[in-house]
Each structure stands twice: as C-alpha cells, then as structure tokens.
C-alpha cells in the first residue's frame, strides 16, 4: 500500500486529474506505471510563494486580470489563490513525462472557493 500526500496514483493505464490554479486549467492524464515513483505523480502545480507573500505581492486587480474569463470570486479574500502564486502547470506536467501521458487539457470555467 502506498500513502500519497501531494500525489495521485499513476498506475499503468489509470486515469487521473492534475489540477492547476483557479485560472490555469487542469490535465487529464493516464498513468505509465513507473515503479521508481511508486506509480505516483504530482496532484497539481503547487505553490511558488506562500499565501502571506501572495497577499502582499498581488492586488484584486491582478486577480481579476489573471482569472479573466473564469467565473470565480475576485476579492481580497481569495487573492492568495491567484494563479501567479503557483508554479507553472505546464512545467510540472513536462517534468512528469516518465510518470503520466497527457490525455486532455481542461479549461477552467468556474472556480468555487469558500
């Protein structure tokens, strides 16, 4: 048994979802069964800065610009979730080509943040 934190199961031919931030979309992937990674892959882009730093770095206007076309909250209460606070999802996917194959890219239409 493998317990995963920050990772998804990526057994051979197993489908998975690797989500991005609230404005960058997500990927549907198929596992390649890489035993060296315990048949796992990352579960998302991950932060490149802390929530505190994001709140100090970005404004509500930045949030509105980075989530244009996505139905979501665009207020000070969620600035810490701005796409710019996360790593590039494309880079994360490219770094996992030995773990998963990309089946589809999804575009974010709606993001619910409580």
Question: Mean pLDDT for each 10-residue chunk of the chain (114 residues)?
Answer: 92 96 94 97 93 98 97 96 96 97 96 84
Residue 83 among known ligand-binding residues: no
Residue 1 has what pLDDT?
84
37 is in an annotated binding site: no
Question: According to the annotation, is 113 in a ligand binding site?
Answer: yes
Find tokens 């990309």 and name the residue.
102
Task: Determine the pLDDT at residue 80.
Answer: 96
* Residues annotated catalytic, as ranges: 43
pLDDT score for 19: 93
């Amino acid at each position: 048994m493998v317990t995963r934190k920050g990772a998804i199961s990526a057994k051979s031919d197993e489908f998975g979802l690797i989500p991005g931030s609230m404005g960058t979309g997500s990927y549907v992937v198929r596992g390649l069964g890489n035993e060296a990674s315990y048949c796992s892959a990352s579960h998302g882009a991950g932060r490149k800065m802390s929530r505190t730093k994001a709140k100090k770095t970005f404004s509500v206007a930045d949030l509105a610009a980075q989530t244009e076309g996505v139905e979501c909250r665009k207020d000070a209460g969620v600035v810490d979730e701005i796409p710019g606070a996360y790593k590039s999802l494309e880079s994360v996917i490219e770094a996992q080509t030995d773990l998963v194959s990309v089946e589809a890219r999804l575009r974010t239409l709606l993001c619910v943040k409580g």
